[in-house]
Amino acid sequence: MAKFLPFLFFLFFIVSQAKQNDTVSISFPLTSSVSPDVKARTSNPSLVSVSKHVPRRQPRARSSSSSYNYKTTFKYSMALIVALPIGTPPQTQQMVLDTGSQLSWIQCHKKAPRKPPPTAMFDPSLSSSFSVVPCNHPLCKPRIPDFTLPTSCDQNRLCHYSYFYADGTLAEENLVREKFTFSRSQSTPPLILGCATDTSEDKGILGMNLGRFSFASQSKISKFSYCVPTRRTQPGVSSTGSFYLGENPNSHGFRYINLLLAIPVQVFRPDAGGSGQTMIDSGSEFTYLVEEAYNKVREEVVKLVGPRLKKGYVYGEVADMCFDGNPMDIGRLIGDMTFEFEKGVEITVEKHRILADVGGGVHCMGIGRSNMLGIASNIIGNFHQQDLWVEFELTNRRVGFGKADCSRAA
């Protein structure tokens, strides 16, 4: 399931072979201005508010009384799966940690006579803090820009929503209010969530972008961070990473870049559909580049390992830098790959982790063409965030990175 992020960096990018160390370097002079909201994972990005999100107005500062300090772990294979306590008393729900989504939603049990709810689903009847959102709520007005399709009134006079993603996933049902209960002394107020009963997914979504209905915005957290461990290659085996809401004791070593900067219009202007944004996205597995950037990276790869490319092979209809053969040998020929940001901040993908196992003995670079997703934005997915702390500091509007062994991160 591919989903995407919030914090936009509008860019003009250059791809070049690094001087001395055989590193493929992708340079992002990140400069930007506020733009319309985009949801990279949706089939109609222009309709969704803040999904690679920058809101139209500056967010209010989070007061210290609204801060949370909560640490948990998540499971990682292709997505970051966090288990969070929801309701009163709390029921543990598995959710995909997604910095590219706005609306959080949970899997709700649809009542059936004499049939107990599956343990993975949320049972609203067991929570005293659960409530539905009626049709007369302002959120339920037609054409509200925060959803991929307009909200509507169902036959029970409850607010119905539909949320489409670019990979074809559809989440729909009713909007509700429910709280996250981290401990007896620490819980959120009731938040707007989706309560999905008709969905092809077996997990919910924790929407963490800057949209006004994301978990991050509604709960008024000041910051959050996660550390993606190295992905296991064995089928069915997950790695364990760390997730913080609030202060992270490791942040003293992070290097930060601003979320929003000024860019000369003539250099690169994102359009109304979101073209030109660059997102750090926990919910997307691979990295996706706009056509010009992808082609330049591919040209460099062809120079280095062209004869080893798997001819005529395109993985997932988006990635064609794929290989048969020993991935370590191919990785050594390609070298390290570095994403360069402002202020000297870099994300380096080391040569031994540059290829992703896509099955059948085939390995791909983990980079796809964003236009094949129907978007014109750049997305840095979780495959290229392995062994890296990523912290979104919302109060100061910046994002920090710190190298780590995420399988052992505290």
Catalytic residues: 98, 281
CB 179 within 8 A of CB 129: yes
CB neighbours of 68 closer than 8 A, spacing ≥ 6?
182, 186, 188, 219, 221, 245, 246
Dist. CA 158–CA 175, nearest whole Å: 8
CB atoms within 10 A of CB 115: 9
Is the peptide bond preceding residue 124 cis, with omega within 30 degrees of 0?
A: no
Q: In what helix (H) or strand (E) does residue 294 lie, and over which residues does it extend?
A: helix 291-305
3-state SS track over 201-215 = CCCEEEECCCCCCCH
CA distances from 116 to 93, 120, 121, 264 (A): 17, 12, 10, 59
Q: Name the maximum alpha-carbon separation found in the chain.
A: 69
What does the alpha-carbon distance between residue 306 and residue 30 come to, in Å, rounded to a whole number? 31
CA–CA distance, 304 with 223 (Å, rounded to integer): 41
| Amino acid in position 183 | S
Of 241, 251, 282, the residue nearest 398 (C-alpha): 251
In this structure, what token pair is assigned to residue 156? 């029970």
Strand order in the sheet with 277-280: 9-10, 277-280, 378-380, 287-289, 367-369
